[in-house]
Amino acid sequence: MERSRLQQVLDEAVEAARSLTEGAPASYIPELATVDPEATSAAVMGIDGTTTLAGDAATHRFTLQSSAKLALLAGLLEERGPDAVFSVVGTEPTGGSFASVGELEWRGPRPGNPLINSGAIALCAQLEGDLERRLAWIEDWGTRLYGQRPVFHQRVWVSERRTGHKNRAIAHVLKAAGLLDGPVEDVLEAYFALCSLEAGVKEAARFAAVLASGGVAPGGERVLSPATAATVVALMATCGMYDESGAHLVRTGLPAKSGVSGVIVAVAPGIAGIAVSSPRINAKGGSVRGHAVLRGLSSALGWHFARPFGPPP
């Protein structure tokens, strides 16, 4: 595809999305409520590294929040293998809230999948060593996947720690079930730090491009095995958008992962990685404008993975 065509489509999708005023920044993490609600940015990085930016991409920074769970999952799959990872978490969509405590009681105690809060907290407990070593692990894998050494946003990290009562409840339920090794507060510190990683859409799209190419980074370095990339993309498709995963996949055909900062990362397999960010989120934690941009891209460019079988409804 000509880059000028992609630039036009992306610009038009972002500008159309700017007219949407539904939703609001997440307020249950107080620091997230202080951002500019109108900031809207997008990036598409082809598997060859060609990058197209739109909106406020040059200046818009945000925390990765739950989209960073993908880095945790990918790194542990590489180091420990799927048998070890999926002995701790499942692979099924839950159909419920991403921060549900009750789900651990009636379906658990093993979390349903690694992309809900309980699953990511359980995986953070699998990181070895003290807190400093766990944070170094996150930084190392963040560098490999996002293409530059990540920074922890200190105010968001503090805000997560101060208000993360449901996540503490989840961690204690996991601890009582024997699924959480180490001190609860150390595990939660690693989890809060993971969610507080700061990035822009270009870095976020770079990780998605690694997944789109089966684990090869732009430039040709293999970062993930094909099996790890396939597993992560499959879980994005079924679980990455929580209880709107099905609706999102039907409309766009792009496996994706949301974060309550307003970021969504998505994969067009074999083509490109995509990142969109705008902090107005819906009741299920997905960016209202981000959803619109992805629908516009998929429709205009034919990137729905099942397009040969007909257009999405």
Digit-coded pLDDT (tens) for 28-87: 889 999 999 999 999 999 999 999 999 999 999 999 999 999 999 999 999 999 999 999
Question: For position 183, what pLDDT does the model report?
Answer: 87
Is residue 28 among the annotated active site residues? no
66 flagged as catalytic: yes
Regarding the domain delimited by 3-62+199-302, which CATH topology (the fold level of the hierarchy) does it fall under? Beta-lactamase (3.40.710)
pLDDT at residue 212, rounded to an integer: 98
Query: In the chain, what are the domain boundaries?
Result: 3-62+199-302, 66-197
Higher pLDDT among residues 210 and 2, named by residue = 210
Angle at 212 between CA 207 and CA 217, to 5 degrees: 50
Q: Which of 83, 22, 82 is nearest to 224 (CA)?
A: 82
Q: What's the rounded mean pLDDT across residues 245-250?
A: 93
Catalytic residue among 242, 245, 257, 298: 242
- Please enumerate in sequence order all residues whose Cβ is within 8 A of that of 278, keeping only pairs 6 or more positions apart, or say none: 17, 38, 39, 40, 41, 262, 287, 288, 289, 290
Q: Is pLDDT above 90 for 15? A: yes
Active site residue 67: no
Catalytic: which of 14, 35, 66, 187? 66
Backbone angles phi, psi at 271, to 5 degrees: -120, -60
Out of 35, 100, 146, 191, the active site residue is: 191
Beta bridge partners of 197: 152
Pick the catalytic residue: 35, 223, 260, 265?
Answer: 260
Catalytic-role residue among 9, 14, 41, 69: 69
Confidence bin at 20 (pLDDT 50/70/90): very high
Enumerate the H helices of 115-164 as residue ranges: 117-124, 131-146, 154-163
Classified by CATH at the fold level, domain 66-197 comes out as Beta-lactamase (3.40.710)
The question of whether 69 is a catalytic residue gets the answer: yes
- pLDDT recorded at residue 95: 60
Q: Does the fold of domain 66-197 match that of domain 3-62+199-302?
A: yes
pLDDT at 200 over 90: yes
Q: How many Å apart are CA 102 and CA 210, to the nearest integer?
A: 35
Clarify whether 158 is annotated catalytic. no
